[in-house]
Structure 1
């Protein structure tokens, strides 16, 4: 009886949390939510992870045409024939692709596989295992003379000689402090000095000890310098081509940072288990220093970041704040000298002739990115290029680590990507005179650049034809005409064969998922389809080609969107606006969306009389720097007004009733939905906020600090941007859905918002919780429940 009462109490809690039971709604479509949200294998599984065999005779890829629990490895010949599943024996024998490096002639390859290092001779196909240990070896590379292989083990650099297998340890990083440097005790030091001064036998024995140490060192083989790193960690260990210098980076992890805990309620143990996740934005972060170890001089020294151009330049928002603060004070206080900003160094990247090295430095506030010439003998750095953005540095080929960068074949120029023009393009800079040249230009973005095997051309992907199309291009090395090598409308992901004569292409269109094609590397060549992945059940429905439209936002900016319309026009009909997640992501394009479930749901909605608009709002990818940074210091500003303008477009051009517009989205899309329902309640009658950020001060540092800076220094940006501050504005019907083990946007976000709504006395909302789901749902039952609730929300509030 007691158990029965507890069960009834538990059920009543979930009814309160989840809202009323989901009821079947009217459906005029051949589709249903249950059908759409099943295991995606009902659609068919597209090929992925495409790579070529080293001899260029085969293309390998992951595929699952039989709807098994997991993908299998398949292969096809270079001409697109002989499609077959790869046997377990062949799969295990394949060289690894992880951490792989080639020699300059691409006749040999070193790689990591299962934590060991291997050397492959490509012509003979013979593989030599270099290491076979319990510990993991990683980051293999060839020495400059290509007679040795360098790799990292246990945080130290090793060098293995190919000819005789000799192994040498090049670094000796040790945790803790150097013996005798833990902190001197004055009293003990005084006693030792007294003993040495008073007693001759003590002096003689101490002298004998020192002499014995020197003799032992002289008699022993040369060993690397012991480098004590305290409680820091070491990474980014790189050997110079002449094998004299080793550069490395040391990270100091904050001791006082507080990590958020996510409780996992549904576990195999039956106990609630805690998941350690991350800090919150503005908490203490790791700091980095870069050093050089000069082997010949047996000494180490830091790279001199203090002299970097603009290293003391504070962000504009800090200067504006300080200016306002100073203006309010009488008398004026003397301004403090600006401190050098913290930076993180990446690299070095060495030229093929071994004479030059460059590094990429990023300011911790992400307002600056520098490309620096390095003098390893002195640790001096000189600026080759500085990209400054008062919002934040990012964009294709720029956003992380070194970004896309390398040396031109002349070894005197460095190529890189920059948003200097407002769009991410290819540039070169001369190491000798600093002259810079743009190789590409225009209102489009370049990504994935690579220099051809003959060193005469570039290959890259660009959205030049249309912001919603991706094609593969070839261009002369020093810039010039871009030759488009792919043809079909949509997106093309190209992997070139080792001889660069053939392209393996993953291609998709807006209503056609990805398939694998093979095409000769020539303009106008016809692609040959290799895979046919779609099931008959999926093909039986006539999936819409959403119109890719553009409209003018209220500030004059062009905004792109996908539009789905009912087959029969509905006068003053209902509409739904979908908000994609991630913020910096593109979805109003002409290829198969990563939001494929939502794409199918939008077809379902259109079948049932809804007009659906899917907007690439301010902050989205694919449209250059100004669109990307349009949300700086105000998320819920232009990104939300773009949706309000989209709602106006629906009313003015597509005969939608202004009182029957709903909105929904997940993650960033859930955040925008909350902002829409709270701050534009007369525009949106209903909204479904899924896994949504409710307060940006509780999100992670890496993402949020770029856009809003940090709460303790820019609190106004956080107050303007966080839905929890606007909850009193709710008028329409709101559905909130969230996974309870979300390690990205924590469940705590909606718990806090729930309390806020309760305290405000709001009763037109409900919360549906999913006890086993993380940020990205995995269970079909959860997807189905969530979208049945969303459909019910729209049916009950937009079709009255």
Structure 2
């Protein structure tokens, strides 16, 4: 009986082992689904809205519990990474409502809290705002109305904000509000915030700034009177649709007239600054001296940039710096004024984006960084050590590293240590920095380092639990390489099927964006589309991405070669890359597809038409189909005006040659896209219909350029996935 029970036990243990092995095998073969991608299954943890405190020893983080409607600002020590205290937490008992962002005033005695935020366009919002006094623990509502871009004065005694296109000043001591401007009017005059095209293309909304002692407020005024209007129907759920009407200057049309003004807080007077009628004012920034403001002005062609010093006492101006370019100049936020109002500036003047040091009169003191690589972020200057901190592509254009260097260009130090994408958030006194690192194989990691040498002090946060979770899925690595096309080594990545067999042939699906200065081939952690590509690879597709000419971080010449001919060289590179990759024995040259969103949709449409002997299928989401339909600032930067360059606009507008369509085409757009208007899709549709070409298309009602909300993304990607499976 004993030997029989041992045999039974052995059989039982063997059965457990077999079941466990099969379960493990099944788990490792789990397939990614679209439902998982768009339900947040693969989301990463991060450090939300981190602010370094002026003492240099501590930082604050915003913690949001959206489920329970609780937000808090917690203070942490850099040295120990332990929480020192909770500065405040929302609750009904203390009268602090749930807030989603915060800002300190200069001496960190007060906090500006944002609640009930509602988006307007891409960056602009309306909200109800409060000021919290950290010492007295009192909370004050700024306005009963929803307002825009409130900003605390340096001493925390006042708040400037915009409501209905006018600037207001709220006094926290007297609890009174003064209206500064009175001529604001929708679709006509805007004071203190930007119009649509500035917000979208110059990437800022607040167009007013306090000087360093809070005695003056500089602001930009926009006169949109002559700017043409664009309207969009909003269908909603009522019996009749409504209409959104806003000023949108399309290429070659009138822009808003801009002017610079100065408000004196004590006298209440507004003066106008004579800047000799600049076409654009893309930046204003006060210098350390409260009497001097810096203003950047730009001509319509965006190839002549001036940095102007304005004397706020008498309104006189002086040009500190002027740059010109044969193509165009980019606007950045890398201007930093030193204690004596000398300044640090980045420029592509030697062919690559680098850091330059000027004295207070605009005289060049030194080119701080040099080499065939790009400075991609400027972090700041430490006057104690005389060192400048920055991020660059010195370790390859698909990677990012953090460096420090002396202001004379000597004693450079690499402060990050891992290959991939590194970025830094420095303490106020540049003693520490928090490094955020990721790669194609490693989700974001947050670590604390010494700024003096980059040595790691402690781990803060990682996403190892996500890596463990992903072990259950069929995943293929991103294989990075370069491909020589049209005389250039282009960055590329490829994802192969999980059961890849070199003796088989696979369909190839290409993804790209391709817009000027962009980058899609990056050694960084995956986004939601990357999980979609993994899903497609698991279905037997080879997914490829190639950054062609015109993309960024490989020098000005490579980026600006597409000037005045958007859609020519970029399309040639995608077509030629597809042809060259199709020569590989494991790629089926008769099954090649391409897709893209926005600029990428413009590209995928052109590739299917101009490369109709190469591509069998394309998907275009929210594509530009003619640059004549797009806005002035972006389009004219790269194309000049349609009046000056008609062939550049028309020879690469896909609805001008619909007869070239041979393959399968899916066109998708949101009806409320305020950026790339649905007009682009409608003109493409009409051209294809009149050419009697069959295709598929979908319009998502009341969705903007992002086409999201509820199940929208899931529906869109399901549609695209089914289209790929059916036609590739």
TM interval, shorter chain, is 0.7 to 0.9
**Structure 2 Cα separation of the partners of residues 348 and 147 of structure 1:** 19
1:503 equivalent to 2:440? Answer no
The 1:97/1:479 distance shift into structure 2, 3 A limit, reads: farther
Q: Is the 8 A contact 2:509 2:541 kept in 1?
A: yes
1:490 equivalent to 2:420? Answer yes
User: What residue in structure 2 maps to residue 134 of structure 1?
Assistant: 144
The 1:551/1:782 distance shift into structure 2, 3 A limit, reads: same
User: What residue in structure 2 maps to residue 759 of structure 1?
Assistant: 690
- Consecutive unaligned residues of structure 1, counting only runs of 5 or more, are 1-27, 177-227, 307-339
Q: How does 1:609-620 map to 2 (within 5 A)?
A: 609-620=540-551
TM-score w.r.t. the length of structure 2 is 0.78
RMSD: 4.1
Larger proportion of helix: 1
1:61, distance to aligned residue in structure 2 (A):
4.9
Structure 2 residue matching 1:534: 3-state secondary structure: helix
Q: Is the 8 A contact 1:344 1:361 kept in 2?
A: yes
Query: 2:223 aligned to 252, 262, 265, which one?
Result: 252
1:693 equivalent to 2:624? Answer yes
User: What residue in structure 2 maps to residue 707 of structure 1?
Assistant: 638
Q: Which moved more, 1:384-393 or 1:51-60?
A: 51-60
Structure 1 residue matching 2:443: 3-state secondary structure: strand
The 1:661/1:508 distance shift into structure 2, 3 A limit, reads: same
CA offset digits 1:739-779 (Å, max 9, x no partner)? 3333332333222212211211223x222333464322325
1:368 equivalent to 2:368? Answer no
The 1:368/1:527 distance shift into structure 2, 3 A limit, reads: farther
Query: 1:724 aligned to 621, 643, 655, which one?
Result: 655
User: What residue in structure 1 maps to residue 61 of structure 2?
Assistant: 60
1:418, distance to aligned residue in structure 2 (A):
1.4
Task: Give the structure, 1 or 2, with the largest relative contact order (CA under 8 Å, sep 6 or more).
Answer: 1
Query: 2:480 aligned to 523, 536, 548, which one?
Result: 548
**Structure 1 Cα separation of the partners of residues 502 and 141 of structure 2:** 68
User: What residue in structure 1 maps to residue 681 of structure 2?
Assistant: 750
**Structure 1 Cα separation of the partners of residues 703 and 97 of structure 2:** 37
CA offset digits 1:335-382 (Å, max 9, x no partner)? xxxxx7624264252224x46543221224322221122334553332
User: What residue in structure 1 maps to residue 324 of structure 2?
Assistant: 388
The 1:486/1:128 distance shift into structure 2, 3 A limit, reads: farther
**Structure 1 Cα separation of the partners of residues 293 and 73 of structure 2:** 41
User: What residue in structure 1 maps to residue 603 of structure 2?
Assistant: 672
**Structure 2 Cα separation of the partners of residues 299 and 725 of structure 1:** 54
Q: Is the 8 A contact 1:570 1:655 kept in 2?
A: yes
1:426 equivalent to 2:364? Answer no
Structure 2 residue matching 1:671: 3-state secondary structure: helix
Q: Is the 8 A contact 2:60 2:75 kept in 1?
A: yes
**Structure 1 Cα separation of the partners of residues 153 and 420 of structure 2:** 39
Over alpha carbons, which structure has the higher Rg? 1
Q: Is the 8 A contact 2:44 2:466 kept in 1?
A: yes
Q: Is the 8 A contact 2:112 2:132 kept in 1?
A: yes
**Structure 2 Cα separation of the partners of residues 449 and 245 of structure 1:** 27
**Structure 2 Cα separation of the partners of residues 425 and 109 of structure 1:** 37
User: What residue in structure 2 maps to residue 175 of structure 1?
Assistant: 183
User: What residue in structure 1 maps to residue 508 of structure 2?
Assistant: 575
The 1:233/1:674 distance shift into structure 2, 3 A limit, reads: closer
CA offset digits 1:649-675 (Å, max 9, x no partner)? 313456423332211122211111110
Q: Is the 8 A contact 1:112 1:139 kept in 2?
A: no
1:719, distance to aligned residue in structure 2 (A):
0.2
1:474, distance to aligned residue in structure 2 (A):
2.2
Query: 1:538 aligned to 457, 470, 478, which one?
Result: 470
User: What residue in structure 1 maps to residue 13 of structure 2?
Assistant: none
Q: Is the 8 A contact 1:675 1:723 kept in 2?
A: yes
Query: 1:102 aligned to 101, 106, 109, which one?
Result: 106
User: What residue in structure 2 maps to residue 288 of structure 1?
Assistant: 258
Instruction: State the aligned residue count.
Output: 659
Q: Is the 8 A contact 1:502 1:519 kept in 2?
A: yes
CA offset digits 1:490-539 (Å, max 9, x no partner)? 22332233454443333322144334434444423265142435286534
**Structure 2 Cα separation of the partners of residues 347 and 435 of structure 1:** 21
**Structure 2 Cα separation of the partners of residues 637 and 768 of structure 1:** 27
Q: Is the 8 A contact 2:36 2:42 kept in 1?
A: no
Q: Is the 8 A contact 1:36 1:597 kept in 2?
A: no
Structure 2 residue matching 1:102: 3-state secondary structure: coil
The 1:270/1:378 distance shift into structure 2, 3 A limit, reads: same
Q: Is the 8 A contact 2:153 2:210 kept in 1?
A: no
**Structure 1 Cα separation of the partners of residues 547 and 83 of structure 2:** 41
Larger proportion of strand: 2
1:637, distance to aligned residue in structure 2 (A):
0.9
Q: Is the 8 A contact 2:113 2:132 kept in 1?
A: no
